[in-house]
Amino acid sequence: MTDLLSIQRLTKAYPGVVANDDVSFDIAPGEIHALLGENGAGKSTLVKMIYGLVKPDSGKMELFGKPYAPARPSAARTAGVAMVFQHFSLFEALNVAENVGLGMETPPPMRELAREIREVSHAYGLPLDPRRLVGDLSAGERQRVEIIRCLLQDPKLLIMDEPTSVLTPQEVEILFATLNKLKAEGTSILYISHKLEEIRALCDRATILRRGKVVGACNPRESSAAELAEMMVGEALHTPDRAPGERGEVVLQVAGLTSQHVEAFGTRLQNIGFEVHAGEVLGIGGVAGNGQDELLSALSGETLGPRETVRLRGKPVGNLGPNARRALGMLAAPEERLGHAAAPDMSLTENAVLSGWQREDLTRNGFVLWGKSRGFAETIIQSFDVRTPGPGVAARALSGGNLQKFVIGREILQRPDVLVVNQPTWGVDAAAAAAIRQALLDLAAGGAAVIVISQDLEELMKVADRFAALNAGHLSAPRPTQGLTMEQIGLMLGGAHDMDVAHTDEAHHIKESYEEGRQ
Amino acid sequence: MIRLEKRPTPSRFWTWSTPVLAVLLTMIAGGLMFAALGKNPFIAIKTIFYDPILGEFAFYYRGQLLVKAGPLILIAVGLAMGFRAGIWNIGAEGQYIIGAICGAAVGLAFYPAESWIIFPLMIVAGALGGLLWAMIPAILKVRFKTNEILVSLLLVYVAEQLLAAMALGPLRNPEASGFPGSRNLQQYPSAANTEIIPGTGMHWGVAAALIAVVFAYVLLSRHLTGFHIRLAGQSPRAARFGGVNPTALVVFCMGVSGALAGMAGMFEVSGPAGQISIDFNSGYGFTAIIVAFLGRLHPIGILMAGLLMALTYIGGEAAQATMQIPAAAIQAFQGMLLFFLLGLDVLSNYRFRLPREGVA
Amino acid sequence: MDLSSINWVLLLASLMVAATPILLAGIGELVVERAGVLNLGVEGMMITGAISGFAIAINTGSVTLGFIAAAAAGALLSLLFGFLTQYLLSNQVATGLALTLFGLGLSSLMGQGYVGIKGLSVPDIHLPILSDIPVLGPILFRHDAMVYVSILIVAGVWAFLKFTRGGLILRAVGESHDAAHALGYKVVRIRLMAIAFGGACAGLGGAYLSLVRVPQWTEGMTAGAGWIALALVVFASWKPWRVLIGAYLFGGLTVLQLNLQAAGMKIPVEYLAMSPYIITILVLVVMSSRGGRAALNAPAELGRSFHASS
């Protein structure tokens, strides 16, 4: 049997980095093929070449034995290649049917398209109402929109880029059922991920990428997670030391925290309450878009609330802005490095002043002491092994991992009593991630209260003493991480509802409206 | 196709050489425009850029240079502060007019009394007038999120009507038997904005402009407020995280730019213009926007850009007198300059790449 | 003041004429903004359209050719903006302002020989039967062709945005250029087309001033109409028919103000003349203070530069 897609010696270089170096592998018809690699291994570039978004510098591809060189995504779609994106492909202000239509070559009239969406989404256990605005959907539902968009075009090859990063464990199960059904119908799936357990559960074959090169191929069902991890990372991982933390008195109390104003398509925090002790790491998990940004803003002081909602060592600070909270020892590091935690076009020295001028005494009578500020930036660079030519470099010139080390280091070096971090290792390579986690643990060991908001459950299990989950703006009661099962975590993430979405009221509602439409 | 590629760090070389390049390109394009008008482009460019400084009648023009550059720099320094913070005060022309009206009104209220205190009071009144006029868009923005670009601009037209009403009504010279326009402040010593050094064009407004340049430079490069202004303009969310109060910043930037524009108007009405008249304003508030960008929103750059722009005004007048090149051509010329500058800006943040062969 | 001296039927009839320039410019800018681009050069494109249209009409004796020339001039000028903002990624606010400043200079340069020349007369079309309806006939159905063309353009834009695939793609580009790019749509090309359309409409709006409304050429004759057109788009929450309503409301105010001047109201003319601008500001305040719902209608990418990183 000829291969569905054969990739031969693809190479793509960007200035300063070879994203893909002589990459070759094949995808057989009706198989789920995993593309495994760390962030920055070159998976996304490879996929973009297959989907016609990027042109390879050299090498070729064959689809069904015929040369395949899509000049643009529409050519790829016509040839039978469809893709579900990790980010950036939905329009929040448009409805589901419009979003689906935009991704198709020759969409039928809207009315008919809406019918098809109901039909297909139902058939695959992913119910969707075509009239709803995408901005109002949950992350899981948004992904369904993308999947349905692909399925309506009857693809031969479906590319999925990190599909489960936004899903709860229960939603992942539904997705896997859908993918297995597709596979049974003869559709091949190229499944990109860095999550080993998923790949072992789902995929027939795996190709492993490291720094742009294929470093191995295997049957993931027959390999252990450890073997896969070693191939992916190329070295043994440095797992953080866990000095059993001495739990001190309560440092931070949050009670009745509810968003008063919500941005368009934002999430409203609903009556959030928790306590963090000195020397403790509280992990807050949850799927993206469930209120993480809003929670960080409420804790950093970027959004203000009633005085009593946030207390630091008993002192109400809910109505204080970021600088006032910093002065009291409450610091934060937001998720978005460029444009939130740091100003992209400003130098590292200036970015050190950004949040450090108060506690590090970098001003005199309102005038910035640039020499001292430069010194602070240099200290951060040294202490946290930030790879950069010097503190005069613009923040955007740093790689994600290095900038993240700088941002976290900037806050930690200010000796906070409370530190709140959001997605501290997102898009960061394994070595830097391990270093950042260790720094957070050290900080807690030194007596600070640390809150880690993350979507990465493995990470939270590694660093957190207690775990709580955010779901649609609600926070579950924190539980000790020791002894927590995946099942329990999943229920917490899902808001402790029955998460088998295909059988919820909503699914029934959609089914009914579909029945009506047919009559 | 040529591709653009973002530079990791903005190029310092291009940041400061693009204005020069833009001026050169504008000279070429402007030359073509003059040629299209049937004028000798080389003589035209020489008349505009060379003669006022080094030509036969330069002794007359040189003084004019400072007279024109003063208000441009004073206004542009204020505007640049706001532009840096992403606050778009486009209505400096209106604040300039209101500053002139308020300053002149205070002066005229004392007429014919003589006292040293009158002129300083007029300065304060002018600054306050501009400030208050700028507070309208500022407060509407912070209170109702109304777009400050549109409001500040629409207020220019309101200010122009107000100017006409003042010239015809309350501020009209009672001894001018029905002619529109106020008394001439130049003939009222206590209210006259005189030359500090006679013959140089260096009046009090020019001095104020120089002081403003120094203050803005120190504020932007050394002071925390200046740091916050730059931060807010580059990434608003990072500014919020850094504890910058957006409301205070809008009020501060609009207030400073309004006050400076108002002062510029007051110095003009009590100096070179002499009186409130229907056509008192001549577009300094708009040209200052070009000056601000041409000077890279940097106080020192603005100083140089203001002088250059003043040169095009004076050279333009000279070209009008000697070569019959219409005044409008100079206006188009200035617009072109801004275009070239904005277009060339791409060089400081991006570099051009030719793709390798065989790849589109 | 003698209010009875105002002919109210005539006032309402001239309302549509007064509104047409900003209606044309506003509907064009609406399309541009729905594509995610903020072009503040409307004033500059209008005034360039005004002189181009006037000059061509005078020289050829054809008002139609004048309008075509005005649309072409507006589109050409807007493509200059398009080139700078879409290819050279210049700041849209600054470039739009540059366009206005340049347009004002260019137009008065072009208009040197046309100051004081009387324009051509443009015949009103009396729509059969409809124009004979008492009161409504003269108000609605006895105008020049451009008044109706402008309404047709609004209807066309509405239908295009709501029902066609092209309209859907245009809105998609305005909502998320990264997503549109990921799906393979040519963001820059689509935006350039929208910008050119906006420029052509602004040119038509300007020409309507110099060819029909006034009709002659004076420097700076748009007097802020371009900025009012920009405000109109905000007022309309980016919805085509609301641009029409807004333009006619504004046209009504302008005409009323002129009539009050003529009727000899005991307020200096200048205060009446500034009223349209003040009312525009007030309307902007009301629209923006409603927050939430209105803000949702604003295209998410409005004013942001797009640079495909891959």
Written as one string, the DSSP assignment of B276-290 is --TT---SHHHHHHH
Residues A199, A147 share a domain: yes
- Type and span of the H or E element at A238: none
Residues A208, A351 share a domain: no
pLDDT at residue C308, rounded to an integer: 66
Q: Report in angstroms the alpha-carbon separations of A73 from A48, A52, A69, B296.
A: 9, 5, 11, 40
Task: Give residue for tokens 């681009």.
Answer: C37
pLDDT at residue B159, rounded to an integer: 95
Beta strands in B108-226 (DSSP E): 195-197, 202-203
How far does CA B272 lie from the centroid of its chain?
A: 16
| pLDDT classification of B20: cutoffs 50, 70, 90 | confident
In a domain, A500, yes or no: no
Averaged pLDDT for residues A387-402: 85
B65-68: list long-range contacts, CB under 8 Å, 24+ apart. Answer: B65/B201, B65/B307, B65/B310, B65/B311, B65/B314, B66/B200, B66/B201, B66/B202, B66/B203, B66/B206, B66/B310, B67/B201, B67/B203, B67/B206, B67/B271, B67/B272, B67/B310, B68/B309, B68/B310, B68/B313, B68/B314
Which residues of chain A are at the B interface, by a Cβ-Cβ cutoff of 8 Å? Answer: 15, 55, 57, 71, 300-302, 321-323, 326, 332, 334, 336, 338-346, 350, 353-355, 357, 363, 366-368, 370, 393-394, 396-397
In this complex, is the C-beta atom of B65 within 8 Å of any C-beta atom belonging to chain C? no
Q: Which tokens in the block code for residue C126? A: 């009396």
Residue A365 has pLDDT above 70, yes or no: yes
pLDDT at residue A338, rounded to an integer: 87
pLDDT digits (tens, 9 = 90+) for A475-505: 888 888 887 776 777 777 766 533 333 344 4
CB contact (8 A) between residue A339 and residue B238 = yes
User: CATH second-level architecture of C3-112+137-297?
Assistant: Orthogonal Bundle (1.10)
| Set of chain B residues whose Cβ sits within 8 Å of the Cβ of A345 | 10, 234
Q: Which of C165, C179, C292 sits opposite A91 (nearest CB)?
A: C179
pLDDT digits (tens, 9 = 90+) for A296-317: 999 999 998 898 899 999 899 9
Percent of all residues in chain B with a pLDDT value above 90, rounded to a whole number = 40
Residue A180 has pLDDT above 50, yes or no: yes
| Set of chain C residues whose Cβ sits within 8 Å of the Cβ of A264 | 292, 295-296
pLDDT digits (tens, 9 = 90+) for B28-41: 998 898 888 888 88
| pLDDT classification of A217: cutoffs 50, 70, 90 | confident
pLDDT at residue A514, rounded to an integer: 42
With CA atoms as reference, the chain B residue closest to C234 would be: B147
Give the span between the Cα atoms of B226 and A54, in whole angstroms. 42
| pLDDT classification of A295: cutoffs 50, 70, 90 | very high
Q: Which residue has the higher pLDDT, A318 or C127?
A: A318
Q: Per 3-state DSSP, what percentage of chain C is helix, strand, and coil (rounded to 5)?
A: 75, 5, 25
Lowest mean pLDDT among A143-152, A496-505, B271-280, C163-172: A496-505
CB-CB contact of B133 with B95 (8 Å) = yes
User: Could you give the angle at which helices B246-270 and B224-234 cross, rounded to 10 degrees?
Assistant: 110
In a domain, A93, yes or no: yes
Residue A149 has pLDDT above 80, yes or no: yes
CB-CB contact of C211 with C57 (8 Å) = yes
Q: Where are the domains of chain B?
A: 59-302
Q: What is the pLDDT of chain B when averaged over all its residues?
A: 87
Percent of all residues in chain C with a pLDDT value above 90, rounded to a whole number = 41
Interface probe for B, chosen from C101, C234, C278 (most Cβ of B below 10 Å), is C101
| Set of chain C residues whose Cβ sits within 8 Å of the Cβ of B146 | 281, 284-285, 288-289
The C-alpha torsion from B315 through B317 and B320 to B325, rounded to 10°, is: 60
Q: Which tokens in the block code for residue A107? A: 């969409």
| Set of chain A residues whose Cβ sits within 8 Å of the Cβ of B239 | 343
pLDDT at residue B70, rounded to an integer: 93
With CA atoms as reference, the chain B residue closest to C222 would be: B157
| Set of chain B residues whose Cβ sits within 8 Å of the Cβ of C106 | 328, 332, 335
CB-CB contact of B224 with A367 (8 Å) = yes
Closest-CA distance, B41 to chain A, in angstroms, reads 41
Give the side-chain half-sphere CA count within 13 A for B304: 12
Interface probe for A, chosen from B84, B220, B235 (most Cβ of A below 10 Å), is B235
Q: Which of B164, B336, B349 sits opposite C102 (nearest CB)?
A: B336
In a domain, A58, yes or no: yes
Give the span between the Cα atoms of C51 and A110, in whole angstroms. 44
pLDDT at residue B120, rounded to an integer: 92
Which of the residue ranges A20-24, A209-213, B13-17 has the most confident prediction, judged by mean pLDDT? A20-24
| pLDDT classification of B358: cutoffs 50, 70, 90 | very low
Q: Which residues contact B183 (CB under 8 A, 6 or more apart)?
A: B108, B111, B173, B175, B275
CB-CB contact of B222 with A357 (8 Å) = no
Q: Which of B140, B144, B328 sits opposite C109 (nearest CB)?
A: B328
Q: Which tokens in the block code for residue A404? A: 């993240």
pLDDT digits (tens, 9 = 90+) for C16-32: 888 999 999 999 999 99
Give B356's DSSP letter.
P
Residue A518 has pLDDT above 50, yes or no: no
pLDDT at residue C91, rounded to an integer: 85
Q: Touching C: which chains, 3+ CB pairs < 8 A? A: A, B
Residue C281 has pLDDT above 70, yes or no: yes
Q: Which tokens in the block code for residue C119? A: 């324009």
With CA atoms as reference, the chain C residue closest to B143 would be: C289
Q: What is the CATH number of the domain that holds A15?
A: 3.40.50.300
Return the CATH class of domain B59-302. mainly alpha
Number of domains in chain A: 2
Give B28's DSSP letter.
H
| Set of chain A residues whose Cβ sits within 8 Å of the Cβ of B11 | none
Residue A507 has pLDDT above 70, yes or no: no
How far does CA C305 lie from the centroid of its chain?
A: 24
Specify the 3-state DSSP secondary structure of A12: strand
| Set of chain B residues whose Cβ sits within 8 Å of the Cβ of A57 | 356, 359
Averaged pLDDT for residues C78-93: 90
Q: What is the pLDDT of chain A when averaged over all its residues?
A: 84
Helical segments of A152-213, H only: 169-184, 196-202
Specify the 3-state DSSP secondary structure of A205: strand
Q: What is the pLDDT of chain C when averaged over all its residues?
A: 86
pLDDT digits (tens, 9 = 90+) for A82-136: 888 766 578 888 889 999 888 887 888 888 899 989 988 888 888 889 889 888 8
Averaged pLDDT for residues A438-443: 92
Residue A237 has pLDDT above 50, yes or no: no
Count contacts between B and C (CB, < 8 Å). 147
CB-CB contact of B82 with B254 (8 Å) = yes
Q: Per 3-state DSSP, what percentage of chain A is helix, strand, and coil (rounded to 5)?
A: 35, 25, 40
CB-CB neighbours of A270 under 10 Å: 15
| pLDDT classification of A333: cutoffs 50, 70, 90 | very high
| Set of chain A residues whose Cβ sits within 8 Å of the Cβ of B10 | 345, 394
pLDDT at residue B176, rounded to an integer: 74
Residues A228, A282 share a domain: no
pLDDT digits (tens, 9 = 90+) for B76-100: 999 999 999 989 998 999 999 999 9
In this complex, is the C-beta atom of B357 within 8 Å of any C-beta atom belonging to chain A? no
Domain region containing A434? 250-484
Residues A215, A316 share a domain: no
Give the span between the Cα atoms of C130 and C137, in whole angstroms. 6
CB contact (8 A) between residue A102 and residue C183 = yes
Q: Where are the domains of chain C?
A: 3-112+137-297
In a domain, A496, yes or no: no
pLDDT digits (tens, 9 = 90+) for B225-271: 999 999 998 888 999 999 999 899 999 999 999 999 999 999 999 98
With CA atoms as reference, the chain B residue closest to C112 would be: B326
Q: Which amino acid is at A147?
A: I
Percent of all residues in chain C with a pLDDT value above 70, rounded to a whole number = 94
pLDDT digits (tens, 9 = 90+) for B140-192: 999 988 888 889 989 999 999 999 999 888 888 888 777 788 888 888 888 88
In this complex, is the C-beta atom of A52 within 8 Å of any C-beta atom belonging to chain C? yes
With CA atoms as reference, the chain B residue closest to A16 would be: B8
pLDDT digits (tens, 9 = 90+) for A19-54: 888 999 999 998 999 988 776 678 888 988 999 888
| Set of chain A residues whose Cβ sits within 8 Å of the Cβ of C310 | 45, 48, 53-54
Beta strands in chain B (DSSP E): 3-6, 195-197, 202-203, 350-353
| pLDDT classification of A421: cutoffs 50, 70, 90 | very high
Closest-CA distance, C219 to chain B, in angstroms, reads 10
Angle at A230 between CA A226 and CA A235, to 5 degrees: 130
Residues A266, A180 share a domain: no
List A residues 74-103 in contact with C (Cβ-Cβ < 8 A).
Answer: 74, 77, 85, 88-94, 98, 101-103
Give the span between the Cα atoms of A386 and A402, in whole angstroms. 5
In this complex, is the C-beta atom of B164 within 8 Å of any C-beta atom belonging to chain C? yes
Count contacts between A and B (CB, < 8 Å). 76
CB contact (8 A) between residue B9 and residue A363 = no
Residues A215, A350 share a domain: no
| pLDDT classification of A378: cutoffs 50, 70, 90 | very high
Q: Report in angstroms the alpha-carbon separations of A273 from A280, A493, C237.
A: 17, 16, 39
